[in-house]
Amino acid sequence: MNNISTDILEKVKEGDADAFTDIVDAYQNAIYNLCYRMLYNQTEAEDATQETFWKAWTNFSKYDFNRSFSTWILSIAAHYCIDLQRKKKVPEMEIDETMEEIIPDPIPHPEQEAIRNEEEQQIQDMLNSLNETDRAAIVLRYWYDFSDREIAESLSMSESAVKSRLFRARKQLAQYWDGQTQLNQG
- Which residues are near other proteins by CB under 8 A? 17, 20-21, 24-25, 28-30, 32-33, 36-37, 42, 45-46, 49-50, 53-54, 57-58, 119-120, 122-123, 126, 138, 141-143, 166-167, 170-171, 173-175, 177-178
Query: Among residues 126 and 136, whose Cβ is nearest to other proteins?
Result: 126
Radius of gyration of the chain (CA): 18
Taking the least distance from each CB to other proteins, the nearer of 133 and 162 is 162
DSSP SS3 for 162: helix
For residue 97, the minimal CB distance to other proteins (Å) is: 33
Contact 38, 132 (CB under 8 A): yes
Find the shortest distance in angstroms from Cβ 88 to other proteins.
20
Q: What is the DSSP letter of 67?
A: S
Residue whose CB is less far from other proteins, 51 or 85: 51
Of 128, 132, 138, 123, the closest CA to residue 169 belongs to: 138
For other proteins, the closer CB: 18 or 105: 18
Closest distance of CB 93 from other proteins, Å: 29
Rounded to whole angstroms, what are the CA distances from 34 to 10, 104, 162?
26, 25, 18
For the chain, what is the largest distance between any 2 Cα atoms, rounded to a whole number of angstroms?
61
Burial string for 12-31 (b: 16+ CB within 10 Å, else e) reads beeeeeebbebbeebbbebb
Compute the least distance from the CB of residue 101 to other proteins, in Å: 32
Which one, 54 or 65, has the nearer CB to other proteins? 54
Q: How far is the CB of 51 from other proteins (least distance, A)?
A: 9
